[in-house]
Amino acid sequence: MRIASFAVAVTGLTALPGALAWGAAGHEIVATIAQVYLHPTVLPNICHILNFTDPNPNAPLCHLAPVSTWADRLRFRMRWSAALHYVGALDDYPGQRCEFPGERGWAGSKGGNVLGGIRNVTGLLERWGEGETGEEMASEALKFLVHFVGDMHMPLHLTGRDRGGNSDKVLWGGRQTNLHSLWDGLLIAKAVRTVPRNYSLPLPYPQIEGALRGTIYDSYIRRIFWEGLLNEWVDEKDGWLACPTPKEVQQPQGALQQLMSLVGMNSARDVAGETDDEFVCPYAWAQPIHKLNCEIVWPKELDEPPYTHMRIAEERERRSRLVDTHDPHSHSHDEGLTNSPDELLGAHLAGPQPKYVELDTPAYSGVITKKKVVEKLLAQGGIRLAGVLNYLFADEGMGIRQL
Ligand SMILES: *[C@@H]1O[C@H](CO)[C@@H](O)[C@H](O)[C@H]1NC(C)=O
Ligand SMILES: *[C@@H]1O[C@H](CO)[C@@H](O)[C@H](O)[C@H]1NC(C)=O
Ligand SMILES: *[C@@H]1O[C@H](CO)[C@@H](O)[C@H](O)[C@H]1NC(C)=O
């Protein structure tokens, strides 16, 4: 009895942040924005591929948002797909050095990342149009596509440092979390909580209102449209779909670069060529998003005292625990650990145990809010997803439906 009610209490508590992860809210917002911009002939194709039959007669015909998190739910069952949610370059170390991908290329297998994943499922869906991809395969490819385009617009899915920030403990309003979770959900959750009340009223745009589903983030989506897509970004948003022609991709000129490409090192054009064409170019789209890691995502405090010392101490402690479990006789001096973590901290810090860096501050989250960084990423994800789906399924071709 006590255990049962405890479980209920815990589930109740975790339900809220869980429901607001980029794994849920972020992906659903991207999908909903995309739905607004689909050409009218696209949705019937999508409903058909998704085999959509909704018992509720008032439900919209079908919607991209409910399938946008399918790939995360399947992630552990289909282990092979886990690497397709992100991409990390071996030389990348934001905020000190942002490489995309740098001389040593991507970590992992060729094409086995989110950029290759988008290319792969797009190819499968193109062949569905030609009758060469089966129904079930097309359905999975579509669900992956909706998800991967969302993942690609989360900057920490584009770097491998510290497992995309999962290993970087930080504070948010005094509570411990990590950098990845902060960007996955907590920034969005705060933005949703602080939307002005006037956005709970419908906007005079039936196309927008028709795509909303009565969720807690409907007002937030209205705000992204009203202040962003219909206002600040109205002129630049069509440019978000542009793909550089191969000539325009920056090509290294010098003798050293030519030598490098001879021995198989990456040039930007080679890298782009693996995934990009003139209509769908995940690599080109991802480049400026990856840059955000150096510009705004990675708090510089993480690489400065006292937080660097915390990280070193934790890493040593973690490693010495690993050593201890494997061989109780082995001692940490093998790895040059002459200080215990406590001594290490004590050597640098007097007084109480230092806390992790707090990021719900004017200098960090305040700047992100002011510059609408998260809102713009969600909007770009939505526009690009709509563009790719229109390219795949509409007679009208590439581009987005105008409001
Ligand atoms: C997608 O990936 C699968 C498995 O790696 C591969 O067999 C297939 O050829 C790829 N398809 C496309 C269109 O890239
Ligand atoms: C579509 O739904 C029908 C009936 O619900 C089912 O028989 C069929 O297997 C489904 N197809 C796919 C591709 O899931
Ligand atoms: C809501 O109020 C804000 C000011 O708080 C204003 O800038 C915005 O235009 C309003 N939005 C709508 C849809 O009226």
SS (H, E, C) 114-161: HHHHHHHHHHHHHHHHCCCCCHHHHHHHHHHHHHHHHHHCCHHHHCCC
Residue 388: per-residue pLDDT? 97
Is residue 90 included in any domain, yes or no?
Answer: yes
| 120 within ligand 1 shell (Cβ under 6 A) | yes
Query: Residue 333 pLDDT more than 70?
Result: no
Angle between helices 42-50 and 135-152 (to 10 degrees): 110
Ligand 3 probe mutation, 194, 197, 198, most atoms within 8 A of CB: 198
Q: Give me ligand 2 centre to Cα 151, in Å.
A: 28
Per-residue pLDDT averaged across 274-291, rounded?
96
Query: Residue 59 pLDDT more than 60?
Result: no
Residue 245: per-residue pLDDT? 78
Percent helix, strand, coil in the chain (nearest 5)? 60, 5, 35
CATH number of the domain that residue 96 is part of: 1.10.575.10
Is residue 317 included in any domain, yes or no?
Answer: no
Instruction: Tell me which of 38-52, 196-210, 228-242, 291-305 is least confident.
Output: 38-52
Is residue 304 included in any domain, yes or no?
Answer: no
Per-residue pLDDT averaged across 123-138, rounded?
92
Residue 257 pLDDT level (bands cut at 50, 70, 90): low
| 132 within ligand 2 shell (Cβ under 6 A) | no
Residue 51: per-residue pLDDT? 83
Is residue 327 included in any domain, yes or no?
Answer: no
Is residue 219 included in any domain, yes or no?
Answer: yes
Residue 76: per-residue pLDDT? 67
Contacts of 142 (CB under 8 A, 6+ apart): 46, 49, 50, 67, 121, 125
Contacts of 338 (CB under 8 A, 6+ apart): none
Counting the structural domains of the chain, the total is: 1
Is residue 197 included in any domain, yes or no?
Answer: yes
Which domain, by its residues, includes 291? Answer: 3-299+357-393
Cα–Cα distance, 292 to 285 (Å, whole number): 13
Is residue 113 included in any domain, yes or no?
Answer: yes
Instruction: Report the chain's mean pLDDT, rounded to a whole number.
Output: 83
| Residues 102 and 93: beta-carbon distance below 8 Å | no
Is residue 325 included in any domain, yes or no?
Answer: no
Residue 397: per-residue pLDDT? 76
Per-residue pLDDT averaged across 330-343, rounded?
36
